[in-house]
Amino acid sequence: MSTEAFQWTKVKDYSEIIFERMDKIAKITMNRPQHLNAFTPVTVQEMIDAFNICRDDATIGVIILTGAGDKAFSSGGDQTVRGNGGYVGPDHIARLNVLDLQRLIRVIPKPVIAMVKGWSVGGGNILQLVCDLTIAADNAKFGQTGPKVGSFDAGYGSGYLARVIGHKRAKEVWFLNEFYSAEEAYNMNWINKVVPLADVEKVTIDWCRTILKRSPTAIRLIKAAMNADTDGLAGLQQLGGDATMLFYTTDEGKEGRDAFNEKRDPDFDQFPKFP
């Protein structure tokens, strides 16, 4: 059992999430434990804001997404604020803004690790699915309830789930709406690791610290390349954007910019044509 106490520092105040960091590791916690961390449009908007802060902050290298307490990662969209056409927040607009959050987790060029304790259900389970890695406590349970409660995710929740666990298993998950233990989810390649509940934060932080020793650019490109394989043209745009970012740092890229600004012809002949 882990006895290590971690010293997290709050980054910003929110009403439905907790956003903390410890050195280069950020932690975003869905904080509605009385509702098993079901998310409202406000919870999602706050997560989007926190993830964007992580994206822009060059001193953050890896992000943990988790739920408050030991009972749930998240039980999905909050059914009590589900209106017609989406989930309704204080602005009275019905939204499915969790889809924007899924995209953000996919495109943020830093590893996102889901740390799952307890229930990981519905849209909450899709959030752990779209994270790059998932470390689960041995009390975790995974499942999709959509067809029982009148909802479904025909995007990442279906197509990407099928890529991850296989089509037959993904259909089983969606058609039967049963719950799977952490051990079962691990055996389905749904998650990366199962550890005792008391150790889940320590192991997650160990993984973060290992990743932080690796080349951030190599990891960024690996994430973008795997997204490109599954995200079609949007994924290629991301991978292509990373190539452009790297090209801008080269003398060859700078020569084009400088020649334009200096009103002269660029001299690209000086640059090697690698095989």
Q: Which residues bind ligand S0N (CB under 6 A)?
A: 35-36, 38, 75-80, 87, 96, 98-99, 119, 121-123, 126, 145-146, 149, 151, 153, 157
Write the CA distances from 94 to 18, 85, 151, 175, integer angstroms. 24, 6, 15, 27
Q: How far is the CB of 21 from ligand S0N (least distance, A)?
A: 26
What does the angle CA 252 – CA 254 – CA 257 come to, to the nearest 5 degrees? 120
Q: How far is the CB of 173 from ligand S0N (least distance, A)?
A: 13
Q: How far is the CB of 80 from ligand S0N (least distance, A)?
A: 5
* Contact yes or no for 90/179 (Cβ under 8 A): no
Nearer to ligand S0N, 37 or 238 (CB): 37
* CA–CA gap between residue 62 and residue 109 (Å, rounded): 9
What is the β-pairing status of strands 180-181 and 62-67?
Answer: unpaired
Q: How far is the CB of 95 from ligand S0N (least distance, A)?
A: 9
Nearer to ligand S0N, 146 or 235 (CB): 146
User: Residue with structure tokens 């989007």?
Assistant: 48
Nearer to ligand S0N, 74 or 238 (CB): 74
Question: Cα torsion at 27, 208, 111, 38 (round to 10°)?
Answer: -30
Nearer to ligand S0N, 29 or 145 (CB): 145
Nearer to ligand S0N, 81 or 225 (CB): 81
Q: How far is the CB of 56 from ligand S0N (least distance, A)?
A: 25
Q: How far is the CB of 101 from ligand S0N (least distance, A)?
A: 9
Q: How far is the CB of 182 from ligand S0N (least distance, A)?
A: 15
Residue sitting closest to ligand S0N (CB): 123
Q: Give the up-direction half-sphere exposure of residue 121: CA atoms within 13 A in the CB hemisphere.
A: 24
Q: In what order do the strands lie in the sheet with 141-143?
A: 72-74, 119-121, 141-143, 180-181
Nearer to ligand S0N, 26 or 129 (CB): 129
Strand partners, 180: 142
Nearer to ligand S0N, 25 or 227 (CB): 227
In sequence order, the 6+-apart residues with CB closer than 8 A to the CB of 260 are: 266
Write the CA distances from 154 to 4, 73, 83, 160, integer angstroms. 41, 21, 19, 10
